Structure 1
Amino acid sequence: MAVPKQKRSRSRTHTKRAKIYRTVSVPISKCPNCGQPKLPHRVCLHCGYYNGKQILEIAE
């Protein structure tokens, strides 16, 4: 059975657990076609364009 050689300090344990709950901020870019904010490398949900091509038909 695997048994740790030394006791882990409380601060080491909390530091390791803090990484699990840390939030990651997602960079938001502007759509070059309509100027609305969108996630990078994804189709714009407002106009349906990605990489200069229309991918989705958006009903207005």
Structure 2
Amino acid sequence: MAVPKRKMSKARRDKRRANWKLTAPGFIACPQCHEPKMPHHVCLDCGYYDGKQVIAAAAE
């Protein structure tokens, strides 16, 4: 069984763990207003999700 020879510092450990999320999130066009939005999220511009208005739009 492998055993570490020296203690790994917190900075070195956390630097290694921070690299899993390096790509930018993907955006899609909202089907209602065609503004960019995150997939599976309510559109912040028009307030629609899954073809239904779920929040009052800020632009109105």
Q: Alpha-carbon deviations, 1:14-44, whole Å to 9, x = none?
A: xx81x52352321100000000000000000
Letter of the 2:56 counterpart: E
Of all paired residues, the percent bearing the same amino acid is 42
1:6/1:30 Cα in 2 relative to 1: closer, same or farther (>3 Å)?
same
Q: Distance in 2 between matches of 1:58 and 1:48?
A: 5
Q: What amino acid does structure 2 have at the position aligned with 1:24?
A: T
Match of 2:9 in 1: none
| In structure 2, distance between residues paired with 1:38 and 1:29 | 6
Task: Name the residue aligned to 1:53.
Answer: 52
5+ residue gaps, structure 2, are 7-11
Q: TM-score, normalised by structure 1?
A: 0.64
Q: RMSD over aligned Cα, in angstroms?
A: 2.9
Partners of 2:54 and 2:4 lie apart in 1 by 57
Q: SS at 1:20's partner residue?
A: helix
Take 2:31 and 2:49, find their aligned partners in 1: how far apart are those partners?
9
Provide TM-score, normalisation by structure 2.
0.64
Task: Point out the structure with max Rg over C-alpha.
Answer: 1
